[in-house]
Amino acid sequence: MRISRFLFFVPIFASILGFVGCSRQPDSLSTLQPDSNSLEKRYEDLIVGYAQLGAESEWRAANTISIKETAEQLGVELRFLDAQQKQDNQIEAIRKLIIQKVDVIGISPIVETGWDEVFQEAKDAGIPIILVDRRAAVPDDLYVSYLGSDFLEEGRKAARIMAELVDGKASIVELVGTIGSAPANDRYTGFREVIKDYPGMKIIASESGDFTRARGREVMAAFLEKYGSEITAVYAHNDDMALGAIEAIEEYGLKPGEDIMIVSIDAARGAFEAMIAGKLNATVECNPLLGPQFFELALKVVNGQLIPKWVPSIESVFFPEDAAEILPTRKY
Ligand code: AHR
């Protein structure tokens, strides 16, 4: 069944038109505005710190490569720190980068809350923060821009696809991402916003698989143990957890993609391979290749130029019938 793609593009453009606004750097960062005697900085002049959250998924690996490769291509000096999925480590990383007096700090916050203090420290040191991939629940003046996806819309897209696939009737289990993270919060909410209009679609269980394949598999095995063939659909907040769920479903003796419909998010290569094998029914794109846009924003910030408060990624939805043709073109 081919679902009208038009349905999925309209909200993307609406959100771009509706929410993106330009903002100058907050006043307390005005010392970063170049004075009339100073020359504009170029990429080769920049020292950029990056506090990555970890390496939990295929998506994250592609995101890290994009940041590192782009820095190298542009000649930017990159100080890259990996927090190994712990917020304390990520906070520590920001403090190290402040001591090192980098020009800009990029961060993908592992969870939404708990950043005010350390972001304020960066602001006091005159170092602008760019949120990459994930938002943080902080006042607007504590970061200069957010570069990343509309996670709410990703959840809505997944629900619209699911509703079409199951004809408005399903017993769904949900594999949630990292608890407290922006994508898990918004994909959870966006999905529910849509399925509330489908009385035949019920979420019978929802649990975190922490965005990893191993946890996705474990949680799905436990769901199957408890609900067995009552489960007719899986909504996974990312492809890695969907791939883990596919393994658990096969071990249980059911056919993923047929006995149990599966929709996930990311559009990583592993998802395309699963769609080609008929085991995954759709994947909603979440683009990790943010390196070029991130460094462009960083350069503009240090040169005191206008930058948007939100730079949203343009993303699509992919289905099994196109997977074989599209896979060779995928970069992650
Ligand atoms: O923040 C983006 C999410 O983080 C991706 O969907 C997921 O795969 C990753 O771990």
Q: What is the mean pLDDT of each run of 10 residues along the chain (332 residues)?
A: 40 34 34 51 98 97 98 98 98 98 98 98 98 98 98 98 98 98 98 98 98 98 98 98 98 98 98 98 97 97 96 93 96 93
The residues near 329 (Cβ < 8 Å, ≥ 6 apart) are none
Distance 42 CA to ligand 1 centre (A): 31
Q: Using the Cα atoms of residue 93, residue 95, residue 99 and residue 105 in order, give the sign of their dihedral.
A: positive
Distance 143 CA to ligand 1 centre (A): 21
Q: Nearest 10 degrees: CA dihedral of 97, 211, 62, 307?
A: -60
Q: Measure the CA–CA gap between 293 and 304, rounded to whole angstroms.
A: 16
Q: Using the Cα atoms of residue 310, residue 314, residue 319 and residue 320 in order, give the sign of their dihedral.
A: negative
Contact 274, 280 (CB under 8 A): yes
The predicted pLDDT at position 313 comes to 87
Helical axes 291-302 vs 58-74, angle rounded to 10°: 50
Q: Measure the CA–CA gap between 178 and 306, rounded to whole angstroms.
A: 33
Paired strand residues for 283: 264, 318
Distance 196 CA to ligand 1 centre (A): 25
Distance 39 CA to ligand 1 centre (A): 38
Q: Measure the CA–CA gap between 128 and 141, rounded to whole angstroms.
A: 10
Token pair 């096969």 is at which residue?
A: 250
Distance 108 CA to ligand 1 centre (A): 10
Would the pTM of this model clear 0.85, i.e. be above it?
yes
* Sheet order of strands, 47-52 included: 77-82, 47-52, 104-107, 129-132, 145-148, 310-312
Nearest residue to 146 via CA among 138, 155, 137, 135: 135
Contact 225, 197 (CB under 8 A): no
Structural tokens at position 27: 């006043």
DSSP annotation of 35 reads: P
Burial bucket for residue 331 (CB in 10 Å: 0-12, 13-18, 19+) = exposed
Distance 60 CA to ligand 1 centre (A): 6
The predicted pLDDT at position 18 comes to 32
Q: What angle do CA 56, 313, 24 make, to 5 degrees?
A: 110
What is the atom index within ligand 1 of the atom nearest the CA of 182? 1
Distance 238 CA to ligand 1 centre (A): 6
Distance 289 CA to ligand 1 centre (A): 12
Contact 231, 224 (CB under 8 A): yes
Helical axes 269-276 vs 239-252, angle rounded to 10°: 40
Pocket test for ligand 1, best of 210, 286, 313, 315 (most atoms within 8 A of CB): 286
What is the atom index within ligand 1 of the atom nearest the CA of 183? 1
Pocket test for ligand 1, best of 52, 56, 57 (most atoms within 8 A of CB): 57
Contact 91, 35 (CB under 8 A): no
Pocket test for ligand 1, best of 52, 56, 59 (most atoms within 8 A of CB): 59
Ligand 1 interacting residues, C-beta cut-off 6 A = 56-57, 59-60, 133-134, 183, 211, 238, 240, 265-266, 286
Pairing of strands 22-23, 307-308: antiparallel
Domains of the chain and CATH, by start: 22-149+288-314 (3.40.50.2300), 151-286+320-329 (3.40.50.2300)
Distance 211 CA to ligand 1 centre (A): 7
Q: Measure the CA–CA gap between 241 and 226, rounded to whole angstroms.
A: 19
Give buried/exposed letters for 290-328 (b at 16+ CB in 10 A, else e).
bbebbbbbbbbbbbbeebbebbbbebebbbbeebeeeee
User: Which tens digits make up the pLDDT trace of 31-51?
Assistant: 334 444 457 999 999 999 999
Pocket test for ligand 1, best of 52, 56, 60, 150 (most atoms within 8 A of CB): 60
